[in-house]
Chain A
Amino acid sequence: MKKIQMQKAFPVILLTIMLIVSFPGSRIGTAEAAEKVSYRLKWLFNMSVAGDIYADVHQFFARQGLKVTIKEGGPERDAIRELELGRAQFGVASADQVIRAVSKGATVVVIAQLFQVNPLQWMYRTDRMKIERLGDLKGHTLGVTFGGNDEAILKTLLAKANLTENDVTLFSVRYDYTPFFKKKVNFWPVYRNTQAVFLGQKLRQAGEDFAFFNPADHGVRFVANSVVTSKTMLEKRPDTVRKFTVALLRGWQAAMDQANAQKTIKTLQQYDRDSTLETLQEQLDITRRLIHPKASIPVGEIDVAAWKQTEKIMLDQRQIPGPVNVERYLKAIPEY
């Protein structure tokens, strides 16, 4: 009885597998006449994607003859996997994701680097700790998301200061800020341009003084979000990639332009309905400093040295088995 069922089921299973195997493959190869592309973001719609949305809403993509579908990201989304599976043509990925992917044979190419300064920083109470040198971290309880980028960054910082994990107390951070509010931990990892804004508002209301600890100030420049595409895409549709990059960076540049501040906020408000105007304004000011810190550096510029440092950090911490020479996967941005 069971044998017969298996025999009957087998062709069905085989057919299913063949369908699955053949379907996405055929999509990658064919050129789409209408120049429709998908762009998978790293996170939910918030200030960190202001330029992406701006480029779409204000027709920067359309002017390049592109129809871009922007897809919201999230914790379970991985743009690099989607590139390979043909579900997206462009995406946003963090540098550690890119390095990990290339070390496992993924053919991903970085076409722009959105954040010149990593927004991942630490918020700390100035009345509880003074941090001028890295050595000042000694003896404190430090919040860290185990497995996250901040763990790699913090461990690099500790190593730089010749501190071991015994010199500090590491506190495992989850989504819940209570330990920070309760002052159980006074050194807490935050995204400087998003979470930190409303956390800061709360702390100010409580009359508490705080400051930010930026690892870059202490020589650790771990790259954050970048725009990626697949090698296949770059080889088969270089023009599309160029048009996309140009449109996107023009969008970001316009969005970060002080003169367009109101326009940017209005645009984002259509997507991020939860944040107040005050929050968005503050977030935009900070985001601008992270995306476009110096007028001399164009928005999107790829900081090769920082990428190399990021790779070295990951190598030192054995997050990758061997060097990948990440610079080979970085493509200089076009003039736009």
Chain B
Amino acid sequence: MYLAAQGLALKYPNTANYVFKNLSFKLAEPGFNALFGPSGVGKTSLAKIITGEIHTFSGDIRSKGMQTCLYSYNLERLPGWSSVGKHLEKITPPARRSRRDELISVFGLEELIGKRFSRLSLGQQNRVNLLRYLLQDFHLLIMDESLANVDELTREKIILKIKDMYPEAYFLYISHNVVEVSKLCNEIIVLRGGLKEPSATVVPGRNFMTGQEMERAELEQTMLEIVNASS
């Protein structure tokens, strides 16, 4: 199973300007990876190319064994007519009920199960949304700022848990937090925008796992590489 892009280019509609150009990367192993870069460099566009929602690009994108790619983002909402718990009940395949309960506890959502989505804080809403995607079938899950407005400690706890629970799946985590991606992600695709060629560089992350020790210097080195790559 792999996902590979070769020489991808995407133009803004009706202009000669590129969102990105000559973009290549390869995710050969399952793991928790990141799509990193400032706003406007085409992170969401790339995500949509991967999930097949955008077709107007040139270049080559190839995958093997990756039938189900899900894209989730941080502004999604649950329908207003039922509570969080009822909704989760409905969209959880029977075989994953125990996983759901485990995730609810790791995500710290037990108290919110009876509440309506609109009553939750933004961070709570984002956690609920991510949680329901994790209960679906997927080979690749793209998490577009899916943990925005969640405090750092909880975020880290959630990501570590995801890595433990889904060793066979691919993740693409879109985030602006350089420390977070450096520390937790396996590979970081750094997007540099359409004016630079190539538009992306892949930087290896520290891929920190539960229980590991983290070398401060190594982390700083990775962060530096990411910053250099994106500038």
* Direct A–B touching, Cβ under 8 Å: no
What residues make up the interface of B, taking CB atoms closer than 8 Å to A? none
